[in-house]
Amino acid sequence: MQISNSKVAWVVGGSSGLGLAVARALLVEGYSVSLFARDETRLEAAATDLRREVSVGGVATYAMDATDVVRVSEVFERAYAASGRVDLLVNALGQSCRSSVWQPDMGAYRRMMDVNYFSVVHTSLKALPWLADSGGSLVNIATLAAKTAWPWIAPYGASKAALANFTDNVRLESAGKVHVLLVCPGPLQRDDAGQRYADQADGLSVAANLPGAGAPVRAICPQWLAQRIVMGVQRRRLQLIYPTKFRWLMLANAVSSRLGFWLTGRLTNR
């Protein structure tokens, strides 16, 4: 399905990983895409690659730290003045960690809330009136851990759970004005899988250093997930959960906390 070049998409966290994959998929669909991220060098490198790979659409870049509400407001105002509209905002930024509740690191909890929750609140609320004007879509990327607890990632899971709740509230209050999609994926394929959290996982379970903190799921291809997200926008879906089998665990938690706790314990061998 080819979309008109007049459509404008903003991807926060668009310089790498899933955000970059989503930007690429949107360009193929004919969107003009603006990438937002902290590192200007990586932003420009990503934009150069996209322009070389995809001949349609257009790519702009804006360097900003999304945890800085003043900076978000300034940069978004500038981006909106340049494009004149925004039809889609994808918040693909995020950061995980490894931590034990028995060895609490309050800095990790605050950092996760800043990066995974408050940054998305900043960008979503700033863009919401513009999205309402265009009848556009807001896409927030959470995680399976936003829907069901998992050991060794409490700061991360708590911040993403807050994001999921916030996203659901935006949908409730924006019904008929803005389409809101929440995406809850399992771990994504990464080159550094299995080593990324080695310094944080010392003294924890061996599973803590694995992708998804040992969740029994196959890592998801970012390009595959990006295609599903674009289709979710086109079809005005409300929520995407991958792998889909985890919906059963979420349903069990909703029906019975004791059943959900028992199933999670079985999955984690606890």
Question: Are the C-beta atoms of residues 93 and 115 closer than 8 Å to each other?
Answer: yes
Homologous superfamily assigned to 8-267: NAD(P)-binding Rossmann-like Domain (3.40.50.720)
Q: What is the pLDDT of residues 187-210, one digit of tens each?
A: 898 776 555 555 555 555 655 555
Domain ranges of the chain: 8-267
Q: What is the pLDDT of residues 108-167, one digit of tens each?
A: 999 999 999 999 999 999 999 999 999 999 999 999 889 887 777 889 999 999 999 999
252-265 burial string, b = 16+ CB within 10 Å, else e?
Answer: bbeeeeeebeebbe
**pTM attached to this predicted model:** 0.88
213 confidence band (pLDDT: 50, 70, 90): low
